[in-house]
Amino acid sequence: MIDIVLTINGVERSGTVEPRRTLGDFLRDDLGLTGTHLGCEHGVCGSCTVLVDGASARSCLMLAVQAEGAEVTTIEGLAGNDGLHPLQQAFRETHGFQCGFCTPGFLMTALELLRDNPQPSEHEIREAISGNLCRCTGYESIVRGISLAAERAR
Amino acid sequence: VTTPAARFIGQSVQRVEDDRVLTGRGRYVQDIELRGLAHAVFVRSPLASGRVMGVDADHARSLPGVIAVLTARDLEDCASPMQIGVELPGYLRPAFTALASDRVRYVGDPVALVLATTRYAAEDGRDAVDVEYEPSEPVATIEQALDDDNTPIFDDVESNVHYREEREFGDVATAFAGARVVRRTLRPQRVAQVPMEGRGGVADYDVGTGQLTYWASNQAPHSLRLNLAMLLGHPADRLRVIAPDMGGAFGQKTATFREDVAVCAASKLLGRPVKWVEDRVENMTSATHARDEEMEVRAAVDDDGTIVALDVGMTLDQGAYPLVPFPSPLFGWLVRTMIPAAYKLQALRWRYTVVATNKASYGAYRGPWAVETLVRELLVDEIARELGLDPVEVRRRNLLMADEQPTSMVTGPTIEGVTSRETLDRAVELIDYEAFREEQFRAHEVGRLLGIGFSTYIEAAPGPPDYAEAIGFPIGGERAHAKLEPDGRLTVLTAQAPHGQGHETTIAQVAASEFGVPLDHVRVVHGDTDLAPFSTIGTGGSRAATMASGAALHATRAVKAKVLNLASELLEIAPDDLEMADAMVTPKGVPAKAMSLQEIAAAAYFTPTASEEHDLRSSALYAGPRGGWSGGTHACIVEVDPGTGAVAILRYLVVEDCGPLINPAIVDGQIRGGVAQGIGLALYEHAAYDQDANFIAGTFMHYLVPTAMEIPAIEIEHLHGEELDEVPFKGVGEGGTIAAPAAVLNAVADAVGGATVTVLPLSPERVLDLMDSMSTR
């Protein structure tokens, strides 16, 4: 077992984990941050996407011990005390999601996109989210949600 | 006819569900945590077919954290064998146990259940269980299943052909006599439903009370409860199923799975809660597949393209285990009933065979009968090609006009209020068909391959009263409860078990409009069998828009009548002279004497009840509409890369009619999501087995779910015909998936010069093959 200390959504957290424990399982089962969803556990669907030191990462493919000392942002860290993050608000207005299972992964991926490219074209948005699978929406409402958030940030 | 007040109807109000969905606060099965939870992992067969010679779990049981390893023998006394309950002449119904006892019948067949203190320890235990198998020759194809020389997959039935039927509607012989005959075969591939959340359940048996609570990702919690009560021999009054937030289902989660039985039995045996959450490979391998059908169709046509009659042969591969509670014949009955759609067909011959193979179970998938639209719409284009006619013109000649309704499909159901023809005409106009044909010609001159495809369908959503009779399967009405809470808010309990459809929002829109309260004064409760009205269907069959709305409307209306009667007593004013709006009851013309719903509720709750009428609860059954058809036309324009065979969708248009919309954004979301799945089926997805029935599509690297790069923007136009019913809303859940494959495939066939598509999905390699077949023609 290995002791780890990391910062999650701005709060220092610690744990003792087996080396094989994934970051996703550590977040969900050890820390109770169940907003991060595990959709495939082989790194394709993107549901479990979180930001590690600002970069998107598949928490199902990353070990908890690899996140030692890192700054991790999860879906639970997105909304502030004053309500939804502008991206969440935009998704709400565009009916971005249906069942909501893939939602946290898309939000974290879109967060990274808009930080790196605040005014993406539709094609750039589609490319950026092409590593996330949604089975409900056909993606259009998600693309619109990201566009709306970008438009408002202009 | 009193239609619901329009207040919130037709508005894309923001979803109630999004408060939790967007913040990561949804509560799915995998999020449920209980004290003393044991984690369950199944040991599954790596073989398609074989005998279980022995299970050695001694080493597994000695591993740290492992609590128990259960096999079929351990469950013998607490779970009876499963079997389809519906008896039909000639239908073979094998019985089987939750865990395989003597034989394994597909790759993924559950053989043992490992319970441990953590998921990791349970998986270690699984890897340490040593099962000795004696492999046997699998039945890997429909052809092999039809061969009576092959050993039956189940010992208790005599054949791998589980059902056959032949039916005739109208005068088939006369229709085919002397007619021109156009033939078509089609082999839709096995696909998987792929909800982003797989199956799972948490069973909590309370030794003290004998109460078993099962949280399950399931679309039909009441059906699951009934089946579990029977199979476990557990009193139904002490069995509660709760469907929490669900990460999609698409028909997969309508069943009572063998895993559900094993997990609940394990909780009873261990006397502690047990949690099972399957991983993706397990979901792909062992949950359900769909659409594995062989179609052979002949059409009798006149020279002008009039389709007089069809002769349809269908063989369905149900996989090994029939899925409780659905008899596999049902899927064919739906296809048989629906294949005429709004086409003026005079006769139909129908031959249907169900076979068992060593594969995963065939399950319901969004529009389970969709192959009727797929094969018919491909056939229409084939007829057009053979007769040298335009495919749009052939559709126009055959589709019923509004003034030809009401009438009946040759298979029975009444057709009324169906606008297939209008949606086709509008789609042709919006896609600018003539201009496209010119563009296609010009593009071809410079070596670009463009094509267009149409697909017209109708969907029983929920269908007319004689629809169930035509299928041969009872469906029935739907119930809702409503009650005024002590603070004047309204609770509506629905029989739906939504998993992304936004019913908490749409049902609230209907109820709040009727009740005259703000939207957030209505809470819609679902999924808990201790609370929700009984329904064996839950959410499925595109029923909610009509049936759940109708039930909620009537239950709400009944509570409203009680409220007005009570207010009448309190105000000493006749109920007819009272109005209800903005959560107030107001005497007409006397606003000063208005009472709030909160005051009226307080009067009902906090004074001794004088009569039944003061109990501000109600329950209503909605029997169903007269019309109940939704439908439409899809049009798709593609470009095929002549070098690689890759297909790009340049334009996708849906013109559809589901009546007036409750929430346009939710309706459009259902359509777009459905189309995306249809595109996946046409071009990308394949739940493939090799020739030895080994499953070879267990991950998302092998099973290609379309991404945002493959699915185009989808244009939608709504139109609606005459309103026949008090509840004019019609379901829209399945149409996208039903219609899209044919539109895409017709477009690709058109792009490569009119090829005949028979094998799916149309991978780039197969598109190149099609092009080769055209150049050598």
What are the pLDDT digits (tens) for B459-502?
Answer: 999 999 999 999 998 888 999 999 999 999 999 999 999 999 99
Residue B250 CB: number of other CB atoms within 10 A? 30
Angle subtended at Cα B632 by Cα B626 and Cα B636, rounded to the nearest 5 degrees: 170
Using an 8 Å CB-CB cutoff, list chain A residues near B28: 34, 37, 101
> Which residues neighbour B420 within 8 Å (Cβ) at sequence distance 6 or greater?
B341, B342, B399, B400, B456, B457, B458, B631, B632, B633
Give the pair of three-digit tokens for residue B677: 């799945």
Using an 8 Å CB-CB cutoff, list chain B residues near A86: none
Phi, psi of B549 (to 5 degrees): -65, -45
Count H helices, E strands: chain B?
21, 30
Give the per-residue pLDDT at B1: 40
Mean pLDDT on B500-515: 97
Question: What percentage of chain B has pLDDT greater than the value 90?
Answer: 96
Task: Report pLDDT digits (tens) over B375-394.
Answer: 999 999 999 999 999 999 99
Task: Report pLDDT digits (tens) over B65-81.
Answer: 999 999 999 999 999 99
Task: Report pLDDT digits (tens) over A34-86.
Answer: 999 999 999 999 999 999 999 999 999 999 999 999 999 999 999 988 899 99
Give the per-residue pLDDT at A55: 97
Nearest alpha carbon to residue B253 among B212, B192, B334: B192
Give the per-residue pLDDT at B607: 83
* Bridge-based pairing state of the strands B647-657 and B714-718: parallel
If contacts are CB pairs under 8 Å, which of residues 97-136 in chain A contact chain B? 97-104, 107, 125-127, 129-136
Judge contact between A142 and A107, C-beta under 8 A. no
In the numeric block, the tokens 């109600």 are attached to: B618
Query: What's this model's pTM, rounded to 2 decimal places?
Result: 0.97
Query: Distance (Å, rounded) from C-alpha B654 to C-alpha B661?
Result: 15
Put simply, the answer to whether B701 touches A47 (Cβ < 8 Å) is: no
Phi, psi of B192 (to 5 degrees): -125, 150
Single-letter residue type at B151:
T
* Bridge-based pairing state of the strands B407-408 and B200-206: unpaired
Q: Sign of the C-alpha dihedral, residues A13, A17, A20, A25? A: negative
Work out the pLDDT band at B4, boundaries 50, 70, 90: low
In the numeric block, the tokens 């923007």 are attached to: B713
Residue B573 CB: number of other CB atoms within 10 A? 18
Using an 8 Å CB-CB cutoff, list chain B residues near A145: none
Give the per-residue pLDDT at A82: 85
DSSP state of B465: T
Single-letter residue type at B535:
S
Nearest by CB to residue A41, choosing from B18, B22, B279, is: B279
Mean pLDDT on B494-521: 97
If contacts are CB pairs under 8 Å, which of residues 695-724 in chain B contact chain A? 699-701, 705, 707-709, 711, 713-714
Using an 8 Å CB-CB cutoff, list chain B residues near A99: 21, 195-197, 245-248, 499-500
Mean pLDDT on B700-706: 98
Q: Which of B30, B196, B278, B707 to mutate to probe the A interface, most A CBs <10 Å?
A: B196
Residue B248 touches chain A, beta carbons under 8 Å: yes
Q: pLDDT at residue B634 above 50?
A: yes
Task: Report pLDDT digits (tens) over B541-569.
Answer: 999 999 999 999 999 999 999 999 999 99
Q: Please, what is the average pLDDT of chain B?
A: 96
Mean pLDDT on B744-770: 97
Long-range CB contacts (within 8 A, 24+) of B509-512:
B509/B8, B509/B9, B509/B11, B509/B13, B509/B662, B509/B663, B510/B4, B510/B8, B510/B9, B510/B549, B510/B552, B510/B553, B510/B556, B510/B662, B511/B482, B511/B552, B511/B553, B511/B556, B512/B7, B512/B8
Query: Distance (Å, rounded) from C-alpha A146 to C-alpha A90?
Result: 7
Task: Report pLDDT digits (tens) over B420-443.
Answer: 999 999 999 999 999 999 999 999
Query: Distance (Å, rounded) from C-alpha B284 to C-alpha B270?
Result: 29
Using an 8 Å CB-CB cutoff, list chain A residues near B41: none
Q: pLDDT at residue B604 above 50?
A: yes
Q: pLDDT at residue B367 above 50?
A: yes
Phi, psi of B715 (to 5 degrees): -80, 140
Nearest by CB to residue A95, choosing from B31, B669, B675, is: B669
Judge contact between B680 and B669, C-beta under 8 A. no
Give the CA distances from residue B314 to residues B187, B328, B331, B388, B775, in Å, rounded to whole numbers and listed in that order. Answer: 10, 13, 11, 28, 31
Nearest by CB to residue B197, choosing from A88, A101, A132, is: A101
Put simply, the answer to whether B20 touches A100 (Cβ < 8 Å) is: yes
Q: pLDDT at residue B609 above 80?
A: no
Task: Report pLDDT digits (tens) over B583-597.
Answer: 999 999 999 999 999
- Which residue has better confidence, A82 or B257? B257
Q: pLDDT at residue B119 above 90?
A: yes
If contacts are CB pairs under 8 Å, which of residues 671-690 in chain B contact chain A? 672-677
Q: pLDDT at residue B223 above 80?
A: yes
Give the per-residue pLDDT at B660: 96
ipTM for this prediction: 0.98
